[in-house]
Chains A and B, each alone.
Chain A
Amino acid sequence: NAGVMQNPRHLVRRRGQEARLRCSPMKGHSHVYWYRQLPEEGLKFMVYLQKENIIDESGMPKERFSAEFPKEGPSILRIQQVVRGDSAAYFCASSPSGTNEKLFFGSGTQLSVL
């Protein structure tokens, strides 16, 4: 039973390009959460999704950022027109049902914007 899989592990983009981060939750998990971690800072909530639905996106910037979790396939966090401030580690976590269940985290995607 594979854990939460994120890819790519490292992503380098130039300013103005698009970044797509993928997350495949653990088998049987229908809840996905995205977090951002800046150096020396704690993880910050971005968005919570269930299959085909965004439940809470209160932590995600209103512009340039979007997330989806389609019926088939991984969850995608998309950042358009990246800026240097977007450089961070982006972690995905999944749970079988709701945040009070133990969360399982992926290994993260380190995004570097040049």
Chain B
Amino acid sequence: KNQVEQSPQSLIILEGKNCTLQCNYTVSPFSNLRWYKQDTGRGPVSLTIMTFSENTKSNGRYTATLDADTKQSSLHITASQLSDSASYICVVILQTGANNLFFGTGTRLTVIP
């Protein structure tokens, strides 16, 4: 069982629509959680970083939420654009250790015109 689980695995939406991606994690002790966007054939690019005390953080049309009690996070994309088509990866970082990043397998988002 993955320690960072994302859902849905893939999602297709119409341009202009909103969508929400989910991330549940079991790893601890938690330090922070990040959402990355990975375009096909490229490396991941950071969208948001959330610490234990933060419930919500926005970056343009991206809004991430975090509930550290239930160990859940979501990424909400508003007014989707074709360029939003990518994989969105949830990464949980623990407080200690060099190998302290746990990656989800990502949600593959496709925005169609």
Verify that A and B bind, or say they do not.
yes
Give the B-binding residues of A (Cβ under 8 A). 4, 6, 35, 40-45, 48, 55-56, 58-59, 91, 93, 99-100, 102-103, 105-108, 110
Taking CB atoms, residues of chain A closer than 8 Å to B106 are: 42
A45 touches B49 (CB 8 A): no
B49 touches A99 (CB 8 A): no
Complex: A58 Cα to B101 Cα, angstroms: 13
Assuming the contacts A58-B99, A102-B46, A107-B43, asked whether A42 and B104 have C-beta atoms less than 8 A apart, the reply is yes
B41 close to chain A: CB less than 8 A: yes
B41 touches A107 (CB 8 A): yes
Interface residues of B in 20-46 (CB under 8 A from A): 31-32, 36, 41-46
Taking CB atoms, residues of chain B closer than 8 Å to A42 are: 2, 4, 89, 103-106
A105 touches B44 (CB 8 A): yes
Complex: A106 Cα to B104 Cα, angstroms: 19
Taking CB atoms, residues of chain B closer than 8 Å to A110 are: 41
Chain B, Cβ-Cβ closest to A9: B41
Interface centre among A44, A99, A108 (most CB of B within 10 A): A99
Chain A, Cβ-Cβ closest to B44: A105
Q: List 7 A-B contacts (CB under 8 A).
A: A40-B105, A43-B89, A45-B101, A91-B44, A93-B43, A105-B43, A108-B41
A59 touches B103 (CB 8 A): no
Additional 9 contacts, C-beta under 8 A, given A35-B103, A42-B89, A48-B98: A41-B105, A42-B104, A45-B101, A55-B98, A56-B99, A99-B98, A99-B100, A102-B49, A106-B43
